[in-house]
Amino acid sequence: MTASPELHPHARALLSDHYAAVDADLPALLDLLFARSAGEDWHKAGTFKHHLLGVYRTLALWNQPREVRLLGLFHSVYGNEYVDLTLFDRERERSALRACLGDEAEEWVSLFCAMPRTRFVQAVLAGQGAGPQGMRLEAADGQVFTLTPRQVAAFIVVSAADIGEQWHSWQDEIFAGYPQQQRRELRPHWAASIWPGPLKPPANILSMLSRLLAPLSAMPADTGIPVPPAFDACRATLGPRDEAAASALYWQVITRMHPLTEMDSARHMLEAAVAHNPWVGEPRLLLAQLALTAGDFEAAEAHAAAGLAALQAWGTAWDKRIEWAGWMAWARIELQNARARRWPENLGGLNGLGLVE
């Protein structure tokens, strides 16, 4: 079966879990990693295994070099300030992990786990680290971390992939204001703490990620770290009001909370969502389905193609009620049917969809 021109070269391998097609050494590295119970450990949108594979997938779709992809895959294995997920002992197992990952990748994993990551994000947002001198970070205990420009670029990319993969409305609430979050006691906020919550798309994190990624488009070219495709290759930023409005409009339609007495009202709300936030795919895929239902196949093709491109520009779902692979399959079904000028005429026919040709 030939590759679709709309698909990233790694997309089909990632969708089929054919990791050796991305990196011949990856299956052995996954065996090493997942032997440490990553598939049993809880993480915000699933298991730690699910999270690590998702971060790796995003970095592969962002065309990152091998050491950056491996940093993403092993980014928390020595533990870090955010999570209690130490899979490897930093004192006893660094040499063994270095032999598997390579010197640079293991050094980056160790540094990324040890450094104050919240302060790193704060520093980037404050305009630090974009020049040839790199960045100097001081931890709360006084320890100083000096990052090269290449490390700054790589850590921005991995931080964005890490945050984007896991974030949904539950983290909007319990980590409100990140990276300037304040301590809030659990008992008075017990309702916000109930996991996983409604699993709404995030309403206030992509605007921060757009600003976190923005310096990459102006950093020295010799870092060797490709600029991700998200936010128009990191040239655009998303305002917090636009992000919140898009999330609310989409949620009103997808959950049918707004009275949907006619198709036009849903279409108008989704078009407004896209206008507010053109960087996510799911609202476009809803528009594609409405256009297919109405028999407007040209509009359906345009919306489905844009939705598919947005899904691959992130490598993770915005609406995390359905995993990324499921949204990818739906986008391709819509695109396939739009080009064939066909769509089921009854509700039962939707149940029979499934084959991507």
Q: How confident is the model over 4-10, as a mean pLDDT?
A: 89
Write out 309-345 in H/E/C secondary structure: HHHHHHCCCCCCCCCHHHHHHHHHHHHHHHHHCCCCC
* Residues near 208 by beta carbon (within 8 Å), at least 6 away in sequence: 125, 178, 179
Q: How confident is the model over 326-344, as a mean pLDDT?
A: 97
pLDDT of 64 over the 80 cut: yes
| Percentage of residues of the chain with pLDDT beyond 90 | 82
pLDDT of 80 over the 90 cut: no
Domain edges within the chain: 239-357
pLDDT of 94 over the 60 cut: yes
In the prediction, which pLDDT does 37 show?
84
Interval 219-248: pLDDT, tens: 888 899 999 999 999 999 999 999 999 999
Reported confidence tier of residue 36, pLDDT bands at 50, 70, 90:
confident
Interval 106-158: pLDDT, tens: 999 999 999 999 999 999 999 999 888 899 999 988 999 999 999 999 999 99
pLDDT of 280 over the 80 cut: yes
pLDDT of 354 over the 90 cut: no
- Cβ–Cβ contacts within 10 Å for residue 228, how many? 25
Question: What region does 256 belong to: left with phi over 0, alpha with psi -120 to 50, or beta?
Answer: left
d(CA 55, CA 72): 6
Tokens of 44: 């915000």
Mean pLDDT of the chain: 94
In the prediction, which pLDDT does 1 show?
41
In the prediction, which pLDDT does 3 show?
54
Burial of 146 (0-12, 13-18, 19+ CB in 10 A): exposed
Q: How confident is the model over 163-175, as a mean pLDDT?
A: 95
In the prediction, which pLDDT does 140 show?
87
Contact 335, 304 (CB under 8 A): yes
Q: How confident is the model over 301-322, as a mean pLDDT?
A: 98
pLDDT of 24 over the 60 cut: yes
Residue range 239-357, CATH number: 1.25.40
d(CA 101, CA 190): 41
Q: How confident is the model over 60-74, as a mean pLDDT?
A: 97
Contact 214, 189 (CB under 8 A): no
Q: How confident is the model over 73-100, as a mean pLDDT?
A: 86
Reported confidence tier of residue 68, pLDDT bands at 50, 70, 90:
very high
